[in-house]
Amino acid sequence: MKQGTVEVGVGPIGFTDVVAVAREGRPVRLSAGAVAAIQQGRAVVEKLAADEAPVYGISTGFGALATRHIPAAMRAQLQRSLVRSHAAGSGPEVEREVVRGLMLLRLSTLATGHTGIRLETAELMAAMLSHGITPVVHEYGSLGCSGDLAPLSHCALALIGEGQVRDAAGTLMPAAEALAAVGLAPVELGPKEGLALINGTDGMLGMLVMALTDLDVLLRTADIAAAMSVEGQLGTDRVFAAELQNLRPHPGQADSAANLVALLAGSGVVASHRGPQPDGTLCNRVQDAYSLRCSPQVHGHGAARDTLAHARLVAARELKSAVDNPVVLDDRVESNGNFHGAPVAYVLDFAAIVAADVASISERRTDRFLDKARSNGLPPFLADDPGVDSGHMIAQYTQAAVVSELKRLAVPASVDSIPSSAMQEDHVSMGWSAARKLRRSVDGLTRVIAIEVLTAARALDLRRPLEPSPATGAVVALLRESGIEGPGPDRHLSPEIEACVELVRSGAVLAAAEAVIGELK
């Protein structure tokens, strides 16, 4: 296997391989086992195509038109017509990584041998991925049942040399031209191939896998932001002790609390108010606000890790699946309902709720820094000269605007259904829509956490000469080394926010803390 190439076999493809192909542009190839399975499945289709008895997807129409028997001479036209008519997407182009993820996961199902695809068609899809040829897929068109029909049809259209694609450099061009430029030729679809290419939940699944990958980083980064806020607001770390968390034994909650304990270890700021004060009095900070004290309950169980663990389980099951209708079994083809996107749609919606709630508590922690009545001695809005300067006042407005949007995006898409195909497809999942809004939710959560990190870092600088913990101090140092200045007179804040967003999105904030204390849970 060529270095860097992802092999697609009969078995499930892994999360990391999906991300590598979708985002990093890694090439792919079919395994020997996949080649054999594809050829075996195709032999079944060819045998049934030669039979006089009508078989759905091979010698009949589709959906509500399935009762019409199609003669052999018209079956190539049948498949072309299917792809052309179903490539009916509208709206903006979706992201390159989404299309590559969709194509990879469709190829993974084709590799099982249960779709009846021809080997040359599957190999062309693999070659398109390897050469970076990405079909243009549009925002609207999938109801998440009978698969992501319109998005997958736009990809199938490119395989027959029609429609628009972008080449490896991102240049928009006709599919036939892009294929020819890298020495590839379009295919003419045989019986069942059109249906095999378009009848899967691959778009929504690919977006779920990438969102879960991002959220894994974001939840750990949210723990870092929470630790910086607890520290900067002179909160207590005692509430995160294992003996207290064990009284409510949710695994995700325990992981988040353990992270907070590790992140705050060695903090001079926390130590400064833990015991008797210099004048002999005891610290009166006996109980923090919910947004500080309950971070593990939100980041852990109620709105995060445990919910996402379930989503990851569903995604793992889907990656093992062969989603098509009809499917090829040992010696026959049978209709089924496995194309229904409900299992994926539900967890996509669950994940959007996670993003909204974690962002909501992050915004509340940020707001506490800016109110002199609640910040325990910090200047109003963390401003250099309050009144002349506004500090981070409007950064919190930006957070609030994003959080409000995330709450709207948390409204489930999967509870909606609009019947289609003359009531043949009378209940649909809207899973593609759930996936599209989750992508916006993940982006929004990234921005909200970044603003909390930015604000907390400023507050920790204002607490000096008290020293932050080694882990949170490393995050503050990362921001300063990245050109994000510390406290001072007002300056153009948007570029600093965007720089911090990229540090969060890239995993740099997480890496800075983990370089000091090891991998967070």
Please report, for the chain, the start and end positions of each structural domain, with discontinuous segments joined by +: 6-200, 207-272+288-418+425-517
Q: Which mean pLDDT values do the consecutive 10-residue runs of the chain (521 residues) have? A: 82 95 97 97 90 78 72 82 94 98 97 96 98 98 88 97 98 98 97 92 96 96 96 90 87 88 93 67 66 80 73 94 88 86 93 95 96 92 95 97 98 90 82 96 98 98 96 98 96 98 98 97 89
Cα 471 from chain centre: 27
Single-letter residue type at 288: D
Number of H helices, E strands in the chain: 21, 9
pLDDT value of residue 144: 87
pLDDT value of residue 302: 47
Helix (H) or strand (E) holding 166: strand 164-166
The catalytic residue among 56, 140, 290, 346 is 56
Q: Give residues with Cβ within 8 angstroms of 465, minimum separation 6.
A: none
Q: How far apart are CA 365 and CA 380, in angstroms?
A: 15
The answer to whether the predicted template modeling score (pTM) of the entire model surpasses 0.85 is yes
pLDDT value of residue 300: 64
Token pair for residue 432?
Answer: 């593609």
pLDDT value of residue 286: 63
**How much of the chain is in helix, strand and coil states, percent to nearest 5?**
55, 5, 35
Pairing mode of beta strands 28-30, 6-8? parallel
pLDDT value of residue 284: 55
Give the CATH H-level superfamily of domain 6-200: Fumarase/aspartase (N-terminal domain) (1.10.275.10)
CATH topology of domain 207-272+288-418+425-517: Fumarase C; Chain A, domain 2 (1.20.200)
Is-catalytic flag, 56? yes
Contact between 473 and 467 (Cβ < 8 Å): yes
